[in-house]
Amino acid sequence: MAEIRVLYDNHADDALRPGWGFSAFVRTEGAVVLFDAGADKLVLEHNAAAAGCNLDIVTAFVLSHDHCDHMGAISSVIHEGLRVYVPAAVRRRFGRSGSRDPVVVGVKRPIDIVPGVRSIGQHGRQIPEQAILVESDGGPVLITGCAHPGIVKLARHATDLAGRPLSLVMGGFHLLRKKAPETRRTAEDLRKLEIQRIAPCHCTGDEAIATLREVFADGFVDIRAGSSIPL
């Protein structure tokens, strides 16, 4: 079944373990992409096994940005033949790719990862970050790691790339330390982009999540490690 399965988040279903970080297992009809890896390999590997997600079959690994809560467990997914996509600004941290090593690609502009999954390109200067667009039957889905460059900016760019409103925006929105008025403006700006549903988690913050839930009402989706979004 084509789906997005959250494998790592601050909150988790009963059978999975919580942890500060984010990871999403994206299973399309023809490939598997792991977006971020969370911080702790023991948590990632436990959650992947509990959710029935085999990390050995991952076709491509996409790193949103080079913070430890998104790449700490990267060794759990590294295997021969894997393609690794990282923001171009941090490409040098990953060294050279040998003949038997994963191929590391520095992403600067939008690029196709596998059919149906596309990086929106590198954004931000202080903390360069990428997010991915995933095709679904209901429309394009944007998955963000932390959205350091700004969740509205990333969603707007993704909307332009997709050429139509997003059906879902999910992941970290980086609103944890934002004051209430700024959080509400962010929620309303996302609403103006005609996004159908949002599923904030990780670094969004509980107060910000409550505001987003209020603004989006029936368009709010509660997610955590173990949650599945069908494609």
| Arithmetic mean of pLDDT, 166-183 | 96
Q: Which domains does the chain have, with CATH numbers?
A: 3-230 (3.60.15.10)
pTM for this predicted structure: 0.97
Span 196-224, pLDDT tens digits? 999 999 999 999 999 999 999 999 999 99
pLDDT of 99 over the 80 cut: no
Distance in angstroms (rounded) separating the CA atoms of residues 5 and 224: 9
Bridge partner list, 171: 144, 200
**Distance of alpha carbon 139 from the chain centroid:** 17
pLDDT of 111 over the 80 cut: yes
Bridge partner list, 4: 26, 229
Q: What is the pLDDT of residue 59?
A: 96
**Which contacts of 103-110 are long-range, i.e. CB under 8 A and separated by 24 or more positions?**
110/161
**Distance of alpha carbon 147 from the chain centroid:** 9
